[in-house]
């Protein structure tokens, strides 16, 4: 729960929030994953903000992207340098207004930010799982989120909202638990990865596994595959941007000098930027979690799992009202993929709104301040009733 401190002068914060934990299943009754493997116990880290109303009808579930976490808004303590990852969107008077809605965000299964993942302790050995951790899917992530909501006594969601891999979870929610979801907002996402997206993920994974410190995933307590993970992040970060955004941000400008030095160091600003992003990433994320979550994203295929190859069939049981949003410069999940899901939804006579936002910032545009997406989400949520 959040410690609500009221509006600040800008109405911009939910105040101090707390990371909470929910643990379920045990060795006698483990969670059976879609791979057929079992897992127990399972812990999810989560965060809430806003106030739950009496009939529990104002609940919004936020679903984070690949390397995100449950810390969506506010601060863990006074003096924190940065708020949660979607503080621009979640808070009093914002697009997801915590004066109106009770908002939940959990860290996904397989991650390293408080939820059970490869770096967690394997109860059978007393050591970190490493690659003994079972393969997971987006469906497994959603099933554990459902268990958390059951624990909280939430029987229906006003909306599920998320971008990128979080958007995959949004779509999974609408077809796996259709009676539980009143509305859904998938942002900058897809119903299945293209060959291009899978290829980038595979190159990133190979960079980790080629690091001599990876040691088949058994690196806990020793040197970590930091170089491989940093390169994986650099690869991923390129896909989150766009040609135009990189041209505007960096161009061919040199880093702290006026002439070429004819060496293999970071001479261009874009090189220095990518190295900085990679080095910053290794301080907060686990390499094995990166492997497992990217593989789960590659496995995701709504048509295969729910429609016997047909996306129209996959949405045949959905009942949510949808707001689908894409971005013009997103070449990782381009607009044609959003249009495919919108077409399949409309063929099932679902209530669907679609907006392609003109933005030069690439895939990551949904994480950046933009009054257009604020207004879209505000208006859409106002139109949703339980």
Q: Which of 70, 164, 207, 326 is catalytic?
A: 164
Fold of 194-299: Rna Polymerase Sigma Factor; Chain: A (1.10.1740)
pTM: 0.95
Model confidence at 341: pLDDT above 60: yes
Of the candidate ranges 54-58, 82-86, 252-256, the one whose mean pLDDT is the lowest: 252-256
Confidence check: pLDDT of 2 > 90: no
The pLDDT, as a whole number, for residue 386 is: 62
Confidence of residue 212 (pLDDT cuts 50, 70, 90): very high
Over residues 141-154, the mean pLDDT reads: 98
The 3-class SS string of the chain reads: CEECCCCCCCCCCCCEECCEEEEECECCECEECCCCCEECCEEEEEEEECCCCCCCCCEEEEECCCCCCCCCCCECCCCCCCCCCCCCCEECCCCEECCCCEEEEECCCCCCCCCCCCCCECCCCCCECHHHCCCCCHHHHHHHHHHHHHHHCCCCECEEEEECHHHHHHHHHHHHCHHHECEEEEECCCCECCHHHHHHHHHHHHHHHCCCCCHHHCCCCCCCCHHHHHHHHHHHHHHHCCHHHHHHHCCCCECCCCCCCCCCCCCEHHHHHHHHHHHHHCCCCCHHHHHHHHHHHHHCEHHHHHHCCCHHHHCCCCCCEEEEEEECCCCCCCHHHHHHHHHHHHHCCCCEEEEEECCCCHHHHHHCCCHHHHHHHHHHHHHCCC
The answer to whether 330 is a known catalytic residue is: yes
Across residues 341-350, what is the average pLDDT? 98
Task: Kindly report, residue by residue over 24-38, the tens digit of the pLDDT.
Answer: 999 899 999 999 999
Which of 106, 242, 363, 364 is flagged as catalytic?
363
Exactly one of 69, 211, 330, 370 is catalytic; which is it? 330
pLDDT in tens, 269-319: 999 999 999 999 999 999 999 999 999 999 999 999 999 999 999 999 999
Mean pLDDT on 113-129? 98
Answer yes or no: 70 catalytic: no
- pLDDT at residue 310, rounded to an integer: 98
- Tell me if residue 7 is catalytic: no
pLDDT of 63 > 60? The answer is yes
Give the model's pLDDT for residue 9.
31
Domain ranges of the chain: 2-193+302-383, 194-299
Task: Please give the mean pLDDT across all residues of the chain.
Answer: 95
Give 41's pLDDT tier (boundaries 50, 70, 90).
very high
- In this predicted structure, the answer to whether residue 331 has a pLDDT above a threshold of 90 is yes
The domain 2-193+302-383: what is its CATH number? 3.40.50.1820
């Amino acid at each position: 729960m959040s410690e609500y401190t009221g509006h600040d002068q800008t109405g911009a914060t939910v105040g101090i929030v707390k990371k909470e934990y929910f643990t379920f299943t045990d060795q006698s009754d483990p969670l059976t994953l879609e791979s057929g493997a079992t897992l127990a116990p399972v812990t999810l880290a989560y965060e809430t903000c806003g106030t739950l109303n009496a009939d529990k009808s104002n609940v919004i579930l936020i679903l984070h992207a690949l390397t995100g976490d449950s810390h969506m808004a506010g601060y863990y303590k006074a003096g924190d340098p940065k708020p949660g990852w979607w503080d621009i969107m979640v808070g009093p008077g914002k697009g997801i207004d915590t004066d109106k809605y009770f908002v939940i965000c959990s860290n996904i299964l397989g991650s390293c930010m408080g939820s059970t993942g490869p770096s967690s302790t394997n109860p059978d050995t007393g050591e970190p799982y490493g690659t003994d951790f079972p393969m997971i899917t987006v469906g497994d992530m959603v099933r554990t989120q459902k268990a958390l909501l059951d624990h909280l006594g939430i029987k229906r969601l006003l909306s599920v909202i998320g971008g990128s891999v979080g958007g995959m979870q949004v779509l999974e929610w609408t077809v796996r638990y259709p009676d539980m979801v009143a509305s859904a907002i998938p942002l900058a996402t897809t119903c299945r990865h293209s060959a291009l997206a899978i290829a980038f993920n595979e190159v990133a994974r190979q960079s980790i596994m080629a690091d001599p410190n990876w040691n088949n995933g058994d690196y806990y307590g020793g040197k970590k595959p930091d170089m491989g993970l940093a390169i994986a992040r650099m690869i991923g970060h390129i896909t989150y941007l766009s040609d135009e955004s990189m041209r505007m941000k960096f161009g061919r400008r040199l880093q702290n000098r006026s002439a070429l030095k004819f060496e293999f160091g970071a001479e261009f600003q874009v090189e220095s930027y990518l190295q900085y992003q990679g080095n910053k990433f290794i301080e907060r994320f686990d390499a094995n979690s990166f492997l497992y979550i990217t593989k789960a994203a590659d496995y995701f295929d709504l048509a295969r799992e729910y429609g016997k190859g047909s996306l129209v069939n996959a949405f045949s049981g959905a009942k949510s009202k949808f707001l689908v949003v894409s971005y013009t410069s997103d070449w990782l999940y381009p607009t044609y993929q959003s249009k495919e899901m919108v077409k399949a939804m409309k063929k099932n006579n679902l209530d669907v709104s679609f907006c392609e936002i003109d933005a030069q910032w690439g895939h990551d545009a949904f994480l950046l301040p933009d009054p257009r997406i604020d207004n879209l989400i505000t208006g859409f949520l106002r139109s949703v009733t339980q």
